[in-house]
Structure 1
Amino acid sequence: MRLYTLSKRHFVLVFIVFFVCFGLTVFIGIKGPKAIQTSAANFSLNNSKKLKPIQIRSNPLSTYNQQLWLTCVVELDQSKDTSIKTSFLMTVKVNGVTQDGTTTFIHNKVHNRTRTLSCAAKCAEIIVAHLGYLNYTQYTVTVGFEDLDLPSIKEMNFTWKTYDPVFSQWEVWFRFIFLVLTFIVTCLFAHSLRKFSMRDWGIEQKWMSILLPLLLLYNDPLFPLSFLVNSWLPGMLDDLFQSVFLCALLLFWLCVSHGIRVQGERRCLTFYLPKFFIVGLLWLASVTLGIWQTVNELHDPMYQYRVDTGNFQGMKIFFMVVAVVYILYLLFLIVRACSELRHMPYVDLRLKFLTALTFVVLVISIVILYLRFGAQVLQDNFVAELSTHYQNSAEFLSFYGLLNFYLYTMAFVYSPSKNALYESQLKDNPAFSMLNDSDDDVIYGSDYEEMPLQNGQAIRAQYKEGSESD
């Protein structure tokens, strides 16, 4: 691996290039368009004490608006400084207006859900309806309020929220750019390994050959179909591709942290099965929750699993418990590997690089999440409802740029160096052939048990000095 031929200056340069590329994407995102656009539709109560059904028509829409939310904020009379928390029945009927002006029923029945109005100094925002994809150029929503008879209500402010079409075009272009870059990096990485048998690959190289194709799915080559097909399927596939890649990345951290110090063959039952089980639970919880919400929203635009489903609390607790188990298991593997491999320079270098780069990525991700949500990142509020949607271009590019450049950096470091030797050249020299064996075979002597570990390290050191002098 190129990792063995890099000096300290080279490692510093690798991290500098990573930060420069990531900072450039954040800067471009800051200059980019805002993701969510809003349009207000105020309704005057005219001092009426009984709320009549309210009909609201949206602005003309296109597929580049992607999704549509209708929210409501109740404004109380400023003269009444009281806290209110009451439940009421809200009814919603959604009609779609086609280009020729005809109106058709999207949902053949009037939907009703119980909503809670919480007011202190200011009332909390209520989600009236949400449409995951747009079939029509315009929508009319009729909202009714039952059992909400409060004399202190002064105004009800309704707001449409959609994606900005400019941001949608921005997203398509940058996803395409990352897709092309990932394809190039994947081809270069595969080309660099073509001379070596898969038996000679290190565990990091084997995982990179899996993660890079999954990164292609993460960048979603099918994303433009969302604007060409009026269907929920492209959006669900996008969520599925992202969850598969992120869970594969979590599995990569576990396998490499454990596999670096494992002696001999890594058995499926004892090595891979516990890791697949933990990460599989996380993937299953996220995918089930996403499919559950999508299917229910197709039948009911008022559906919100955070508000309407009591099982969501159990799902969140289950997800948090499994996440804590994953973190503790990963920390255990890293600490144990550091304690066992601190006297093995080459293996220790592999562990240090992966831990350092991953730690940097995790810190940046936590900072982005904190800036995005603040201290309310785990609360069930409206901001959490839009947690998978971006508020501006900087958030989109920071997340995508961070993960893409993280994989690109590892692909560079874990690819074979220019002076790497392969079996067909050295098959007659058993001493130097150790340089070509997989890192685990060299260290633990699975193929050359008669040669001590110290000799193998000495040969690697001589090869490193020779390559640097060249």
Structure 2
Amino acid sequence: MLAPMRLYTLSKRHFVLVFVVFFICFGLTVFIGIAGPSVIESTAVTATLSNLKIRPFKLNSKPLSTYNQQLWLTCMIQLDQPDESSFKTNVTITVKIRGVEENGSSSFIKKQVYNRTRMLNCAQKCAEIIVVHLGYLTYTQYEVIVGFEDLNKLMYPIKNVNFTWKTYNPSFSQVEIWFRFVFVVLTFMVTCLFAHSLRKFSMRDWGIEQKWMSILLPLLLLYNDPFFPLSFLVNSWFPGMLDDLFQSVFLCALLLFWLCVYHGIRVQGERKCLTFYFPKFFIVGLLWLACVTLGIWQTVNELHDPTYQFRVDTGNFQGMKIFFLVVATVYILYLLFLIVRACSELRNMPYVDLRLKFLTALTFVVLVISIVILYLPEFLSFYGLLNFYLYTLAFVYSPSKNALYESQLKDNPAFSMLNDSDDDVIYGSDYEEMPLQNGQAIRAKYKEESDSD
């Protein structure tokens, strides 16, 4: 006896209501992101032409707190060039960083001069160059001394050199803390309710979706990161690394969930580890390994060198990028193959086609919204999207209150027929009013057999 799902009892009106509630909840997170404070706070510093003779440029950040989270210093060189001209050239930058304590004392970080070569790409205007990035803040203020080699040898005269300090907005950091805290509480409640609804059923009787939800919901709790406030209490890189690790594990588990469900829904009975799980874990594991390796490599190098950028300074970054795109392409093709095959083989099977249609429709909506979010500065919306996606799946995959009683009646046809009145046999019962066409066909079949007897 498989544990039933609430999905089987929903009518078309209920399905519409589920999607409406999903969009309302997600729209609320988008509204909070739009109405809330900006993510990045910027402070511009301009060096005029007369100051270019002074070497190096000494730049002081504003007073900082742990709510600023990270610090960037960027540079944009303005040239007196024609609008139609464009060129690329290498510029060598020397950087020294001094940290200022709360008592006013200062000390150089690492006590060394960092030398980096950056590509200056100028079309109608020159592209912005990232000079320094600090992943966590250990001082209340920073003084950066920036020097350029051969800057006056450019093919066009220099008008200005614009520097910009960028940090996270402290108001946004406070909103993010509360935002994550609310989702941690909601996820914990949803996880407990989902586990409570399945307590009367043996784990062997759970459907593959229900088994995976019992894994994804605890991982979603980690994705929301209950340890996130430690980033503002401890001056260390560890809380940020832990947050990145939790996110990568959850996202890869979600990718694995799609593969296993679309394949497992066709495979009844025992699913062998070697033929069923190993190819999926191998593909998703490569994606996870690439993401984690790149993240650890960036963090370790930035700790030793604040001027490090993995996109520019890693010689193997292009190779890693190609590797990731190849594995991602294999994953997408494999997933599409499983979806097409599942839909073609199971479209006429009772209840199974409903599970396929609902999961495919909701996942497609989430993927489309995710692509749109990538081009929008709504940082918090993606957290809300994934949380409400899992909440919706947990709702439809959990058994209803009377699921155990109804499943026992369905598994006992004799008991089911004893409860049918004569009017039900002649005129039909309310069961035939159910929204699932497949359910009507099965019910009608049982009634024909009972009438023939």
TM more than 0.5: yes
Counterparts in 2 of 1:62 and 1:191: CA distance versus 1, 3 Å: same
Please give the per-residue CA displacement for 1:210-262, whole angstroms capped at 9, x wherever unaligned.
00000000000000000000000000000100010000000000000000011
Give distance in 2, aligned partners of 1:109 and 1:268.
Answer: 53
Deviations 1:138-183 (A, max 9, x none): 0000111112223611110000000000000000001000111101
**Aligned-pair Cα RMSD in Å:** 2.4
Q: Is the 8 A contact 1:77 1:152 kept in 2?
A: yes
Secondary structure (helix, strand or coil) at the match of 1:334 reads helix
Residue of structure 2 aligned with 1:71, choices 48, 71, 74: 74
Distance 1:455 1:184 in 2: 32
1:2 to 1, 6, 25: 6
Residue in 1 aligned with 2:283?
278
| Corresponding residue to 1:16 among 20, 30, 38 | 20
Q: Which residue type is aligned with residue 124 of structure 2?
A: A
| Counterpart among 153, 156, 172 of residue 177 in structure 2 | 172
> CA separation of 1:317/1:178 partners in 2, compared to 1, >3 Å: closer, same or farther?
same
Matches within 5 A, 1:129-148: 129-148=132-151
Give the whole-Å Cα distance in 1 for the aligned partners of 2:186 and 2:445.
34
Amino acid in the other structure paired with 2:442: A
What is the aligned counterpart of 1:414 among 388, 392, 397?
397
Matched residue, 2:442: 458
Residues 93, 107 of structure 1: 8 Å contact kept: no
C-alpha contact 2:93 2:148 (8 A) present in aligned 1: yes
Q: Deviations over 1:293-332 (max 9, x none)?
A: 0000000011001111121111111111111100000000
Name which of 403, 411, 427 aligns with 2:386. 403
Query: CA contact under 8 A between 2:82 and 2:124: conserved in structure 1?
Result: no
1:2-401 → structure 2 map (5 Å cutoff): 2-46=6-50, 48=52, 52-77=55-80, 82-149=85-152, 150=154, 152-369=157-374, 371-372=375-376, 391=377, 395-401=378-384
Report the Cα offset of residue 458 of structure 1.
3.0
Question: Do the aligned residues in 2 keep the contact of 1:178 with 1:219 (CA within 8 Å)?
Answer: yes
Give, in whole Å, the separation in 2 of the partners of 1:164 and 1:219.
20
Q: Are the aligned partners of 2:83 and 2:124 in contact in 1 as well (CA < 8 Å)?
A: no
- Residue by residue over 1:383-413, the C-alpha shift from the partner in whole angstroms, topping out at 9 and shown as x without a partner, is xxxxxxxx4xxx1231011100000000000
CA distance in structure 2 between the partners assigned to 1:328 and 1:350 by the alignment: 21
In structure 2, distance between residues paired with 1:185 and 1:238: 21
1:78 deviation in Å?
5.1
1:251-291 Cα offsets, whole Å, 9 max, x none, are 00000000001132101110000000000001000111011
C-alpha distance in structure 2 between counterparts of 1:462 and 1:19, whole Å: 40
| Whole-Å separation in 2 of the counterparts to 1:47 and 1:130 | 24
Specify the alignment match of 1:467 in structure 2. Answer: none
Partners of 1:182 and 1:109 in 2: how far apart? Answer: 47
1-structure distance, mates of 2:305, 2:441:
65
Aligned to 2:426: none
- The CA distance in 2 between the partners of 1:352 and 1:136, in whole Å, is 54
Rounded Cα–Cα distance in structure 2 between residues aligned with 1:79 and 1:124: 16
Q: What's the secondary structure of 1:190's corresponding residue? A: helix
> Kindly tell me: are residues 261 and 279 of structure 1, through their superposed partners in 2, closer, same or farther at Cα, counting changes over 3 Å?
same
Conserved 8 A contact 2:26-2:381: yes
User: Unaligned regions of 5+ residues in structure 2, if any?
Assistant: 417-437, 448-453
Specify whether residues 324 and 193 from structure 1 end up closer, same or farther in structure 2 by C-alpha distance, changes over 3 A only.
same
Change (3 A) 1:74 1:262: same
Question: How many residues are matched?
Answer: 420
Decide whether the 8 Å contact of 1:51 with 1:148 is kept in 2: no
Superposed CA deviations along residues 60-97 of structure 1, whole A, max 9, x for unmatched, are 00000000000000011257974332112111111100
Contact 2:57/2:146 (<8 A) preserved: yes
**Rg: which structure is higher?**
2
Identity %: 79
TM normalised by structure 2 equals 0.88
Letter matched to residue 41 of structure 2: Q
Q: Secondary structure at the match of 1:116?
A: strand
Question: Partners of 1:428 and 1:16 in 2: how far apart?
Answer: 34
In structure 1, what is the Cα distance between the partners aligned to 2:160 and 2:84?
16
Distance across 1 between alignment mates of 2:7 and 2:439: 20
1:378 maps to none
Matching residue of 1:450: none
CA contact (8 A) 2:350 2:439 kept: no
| Cα distance in 2, alignment partners of residues 269 and 424 from structure 1 | 33
Aligned partners of 1:103 and 1:218: how far apart in 2?
Answer: 37
